[in-house]
Amino acid sequence: MINNIGLFWVKDDFRLKNNLALIKASNKHDQVVAFYLYKKKKFENQEAQKWWVSKSLQNFKSSLNNYNIDLEIIKTETYSSFFEKLFTKKNFSIYWNKTYEPSYLKFDKYLSKNFKLHNIEYKILKGNILNEIEDIKKGDGYPFKVFTPYWRNAEKFYLEKIPAKEKKVKKSKKKISYFKDTINENEIYPKKKWFKKFEEYWKPSEENALKELKSFIKNKIENYSDARNFPNVIGTSKLSPYIKHGQIHVETIWQECMKVKKKGVNKFLTEIGWREFNHTLINNFPHMLKGNYSKKFDRFPWEKNTKYLSAWKKGLTGYPIVDAGMRELYSTGWMHNRVRMIVGSFLVKHLLINWTEGEKHFKNCLLDYNEANNVSGWQWVAGCGADAAPYFRIFNPILQGEKFDKEGNYVKKWVPELKNIPKKFLHKPWELKNDKVLKLGSDYPEPIVVHEKARLKALNAFKKI
């Protein structure tokens, strides 16, 4: 044991299991203090995540108490200003897990250089990922740009690794505090009270993440390949916010899935593969974080239409499946993956609004917002990303609704003004023409664009590039 204090920097690591930095710190030091840096600017356009982070801090603090480890929250303008003060102290060693975003990995280099300079022991450990980004390359040393060959190689690489025997978090001899001027997790809560609805749907804790995984594997994974496409049934794991905030490690998910021999396991793990692929993309091609991965899209004739954008955000486009998705997002901080593709395609291809506007809105509203997944997902839909959907794939919101929400249960749940519409007209209410059942324009909006015309316009715009 080392006599000085072990500091554990919590980022998206709200877990005890498979938390390498916390385990390392607690096994090397008699006394450990965990700290979380709350940078207000980071959350300026991530309102939904403030709620999740605040709840996560509260629950993780309680878990760490059982190990005599204090979790202290420090408000800081910048990470640099906090660490510059820390460099002047000598009574600690520090540990943290990697976050696989270019800005964080760049900051890791800055910290490494300065901790060495000040002769302070530090350790950066593997974060919430199966393979390190630099481990998976093509035979010529270049990064993969297509998912299927990437995942074939990544999966093989991971399976051939000898799994390390997992250590556990060790209890500190006594609980101590370390930092001055700490804040309470309640100070992170969003100012607007709309997040109150989230509490009906989510419990942001490691305990709940493990429970959800167990329930999913037991009851749903077998039908996952088909059920995942239907938003009216709970066919997905809904683990994405827990993965994003590190309440569960992807290795834990992998290990638990490998214990069962059920039909949907491979398909489900492929989704973990997409997350890995997206992280390699943003690190190997960081320009895609600020614009199009494919440079030819820089010439695309996007349209600025605040009226259409506002209607899309509020779920008032007149297309029921699109509106249901946008309202689900606002109410729950989450949206079904099939519907994410439908609403994304509608914004980009029906309204010709730049995908960056959709990415910004999702960033603000999604509890599972992840830079790699969000940017890559939007560019996949727009057709300007790596291994993206072809430009001529334009989701028909009427047919998508009729195919994946046949009985209309999803639409009726989130767009209750349509609950009395006959099934035949549910996904195209403008064809009903019965004011006694629905007054189009007052009870529910008329379509802001006509699908056939919008599709033709989009195809012509895409042809220009």
Largest CA distance in the chain: 78
Q: Does the domain formed by 295-463 have CATH 1.10.579.10?
A: yes
Q: Cα separation of 441 and 427, whole Å? A: 16
Residues 290-319: pLDDT tens digits?
999 999 999 999 999 999 999 999 999 999
Q: 187: number of CA atoms within 13 Å, CB side?
A: 10
Q: Which residues contact 459 (CB under 8 A, 6 or more apart)?
A: 391, 392, 394
Catalytic residues: 271, 274, 302, 337, 355, 378
Q: What percent of the chain has pLDDT over 70?
A: 99
Q: What is the DSSP string of 132-166?
A: -GGG---TTSPPP-SHHHHHHHHHHHHHHSPPPPP
Residues 390-408: pLDDT tens digits?
878 899 999 999 999 999 9
Q: Do the domains spanning 129-165+205-284 and 295-463 agree at the CATH topology level? A: no
The ranges assigned to domains in the chain are 5-127, 129-165+205-284, 295-463
Predicted confidence band at 463 (pLDDT cuts at 50, 70, 90)?
confident
CATH of domain 5-127: 3.40.50.620
Q: Cα separation of 192 and 400, whole Å? A: 34
Residues 230-252: pLDDT tens digits?
999 999 999 999 999 999 999 99
With CA atoms as reference, report the closest residue to 373 among 271, 275, 456, 463.
275
Q: Which CATH architecture has domain 129-165+205-284?
A: Alpha Horseshoe (1.25)
Rounded to two decimals, the pTM is 0.95
